[in-house]
């Protein structure tokens, strides 16, 4: 395990959703994740895992507490700067893939680069590189509807990697896949971690969680277990 510079630091972070009744989805969360770490987030449905991911992924602001990303206090950032930081440094992989069915694979992968100001040629070049990296170099012109579930998730990973992020957030990436396909996806994630990418993986599956360097258990909004496996 590599723990040199902390990438993620949560100090007393809480997140409430206004009601009525008010739902306290996250309470007094403390967590530190270093660069190159692979952390799994486990817990039951409704325990607060996705809320944690949204906060860490700068998709949502915490109600209170302090969240620093790469040493930057994100609470002090404007909406515009948070968006820019998210686009540049964080990649997302979702259980439901979130691919646009009418756009080709290469267009899906290059989509995030539009918001980095990359031209069509640059987007295409980077997208093809990333597709090659996930083993889909030959399917760049296909539509997502022509792909299998595993291939779609690979496209989603390639899209997340297109902006060369510091952090990859995966929300149940293997939830819709059979075990063999899931293993292929997890192998890609392992390779990325090997290449010093920081990964936070939300999962229900203990086997998936076991592949991470450590697991954080979320229960009733609290991070009650933070266990390293070295």
Partner 1 sequence: MRLRYVCQDALVSSVSRPSKLFLTAFGAMLGVASLVAISGLTTTAGTQIIARFDSASSTYVSIENAGEPVNHGDPRLRWASGDGVARIEGVVRVALSARLAGITSVVAVPLDDPTVPEATPPAVLAATADLGEVLGLRLSDGRMFDRGHEERGDNVVVVGAQAAGQLGVDDLALQRVVFINDVAYDVVGIFDEAIDNSFLGAVIMPARTAQTHLGATSPDVLHVIVRPGSARLVAEQGPIALAPSGPTAFAASYTPDPTDLREQVGEDTRAMFVVVGFVSMLAGTVGIMNTMLLNVMERTGEIGLRRALGAKRAEIVVQFLTESAVVGVVSGAAGSAIGMVVIVALAESRSWAPVAEWWLMPVGFALGVASGLVAGAFPAWRAARIEPASSLRAA
Residues near partner 1 (CB under 8 A) are 50, 54, 57, 59-60, 79-80, 83-84, 86-88, 92, 94, 96, 98, 100, 102-103, 107, 111-112, 114-120, 159, 163
Query: What gap in Å lies between CA 31 and CA 44, rounded to an integer?
Result: 19
Distance between CA 57 and CA 69 in Å, rounded? 10
Mind spelling out the 3-state secondary structure of 33-51?
EECCCEEEEECCCCCCHHH
Nearer CB in complex with partner 1: 100/146? 100
Distance CA 46, CA 43 (A): 8
Nearer to partner 1, 112 or 150 (CB): 112
Minimum distance from residue 4 beta carbon to partner 1 (Å): 27
Q: What phi, psi does 218 have (nearest 5°)?
A: -110, 125
Nearer to partner 1, 92 or 213 (CB): 92
State the minimum distance, in angstroms, from the CB of residue 51 to partner 1: 8
Task: Pinpoint the alpha helices (H) of 46-102.
Answer: 49-56, 79-89
- DSSP per residue, 168-218: EEEESTTTTS-HHHHHHHHHHHHHHHHTT-EEEEEES-HHHHTTSSEEEEE
Q: Which C-beta is closer to partner 1: that of 62 or that of 213?
A: 62
DSSP type of residue 22:
P
Query: Which C-beta is closer to partner 1: that of 125 or that of 214?
Result: 125
Closest distance of CB 145 from partner 1, Å? 12
- CB 113 → partner 1: shortest distance, Å? 9
CB of 93 to partner 1, least distance (A): 11
């Amino acid at each position: 395990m590599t723990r040199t510079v902390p990438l993620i630091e949560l100090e007393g972070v809480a997140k409430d959703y206004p009601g009525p009744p008010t739902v306290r989805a996250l309470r007094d969360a403390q967590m530190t994740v270093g660069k190159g770490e692979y952390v799994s987030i486990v817990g039951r449905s409704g325990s607060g895992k996705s809320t944690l991911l949204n906060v860490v992924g700068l998709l949502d602001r915490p109600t209170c507490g302090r969240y620093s990303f790469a040493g930057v206090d994100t609470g002090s950032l404007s909406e515009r700067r948070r968006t820019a930081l998210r686009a540049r440094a964080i990649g997302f992989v979702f259980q439901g893939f979130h691919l646009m069915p009418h756009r080709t694979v290469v267009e899906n992968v290059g989509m995030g680069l539009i918001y980095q100001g990359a031209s069509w040629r640059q987007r295409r070049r980077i997208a093809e590189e990333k597709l090659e990296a996930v083993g889909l170099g030959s399917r760049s012109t296909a539509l997502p509807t022509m792909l299998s579930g595993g291939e779609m998730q690979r496209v989603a990973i390639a899209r997340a990697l297109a902006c060369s992020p510091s952090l990859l957030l995966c929300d149940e990436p293997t939830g819709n896949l059979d075990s063999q396909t899931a293993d292929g996806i997890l192998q890609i994630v392992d390779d990325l971690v090997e290449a010093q990418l920081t990964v936070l993986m939300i999962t229900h599956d203990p086997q998936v969680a076991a592949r991470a360097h450590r697991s954080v258990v979320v229960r009733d909004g609290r991070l009650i277990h933070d266990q390293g496996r070295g």
